Amino acid sequence: MKAVIQRVTSSSVVVDNRTVGTIGRGITVLLGVERGDDESKADWLARKICDLRIFSDEAGKMNRSVTEAGGELLVVSQFTLAGNCAKGKRPSFDTAAPPDEGKRLYDYFVDAVRKLGLPVQTGIFQADMQVHLVNDGPVTFILER
């Protein structure tokens, strides 16, 4: 399971010219599910993202988690994170989870974050989406489990 996380001041996702998810201050999560991923990986990633201290404290140091900062998450499925660009000119998606399994674990991850007490908005799995965000910092991390 892979995630690109970005600290944002605002973020939204649009499908068919309709905003389906929007947040203020928080984290935008682009989530990729691969073959062999399971609930334990989703649980680990959910806890890691919620506990990661990437928000500034009073001294301006990254010392607060999204939970402590009162932030939100926007979680967007990102199939292309499973892409391998090592050979040729076209990415290979052999390691990507099949769509049914990807959706199941994507939904599981979203529920795991909600159970940790954070407000969560989402995109639509397998939809053609446009993600709009204002990256705060910019602060961006890649997490893998």
Residues noted as catalytic: 78-80
Query: Which is nearest to 62 in space by CA: 119, 5, 122?
Result: 5
Residues 6+ apart with CB under 8 A from 112: 42, 43, 46, 47
CA pair distance 7, 137, nearest whole angstrom: 8
CA pair distance 72, 44, nearest whole angstrom: 18
Across 113-124, b (16+ Cβ under 10 Å) vs e yields beebebebbbbe
Counting DSSP H helices and E strands in the chain, the numbers are 2, 8
Q: Of all helices (H) and strands (E), which one includes residue 144?
A: strand 129-144
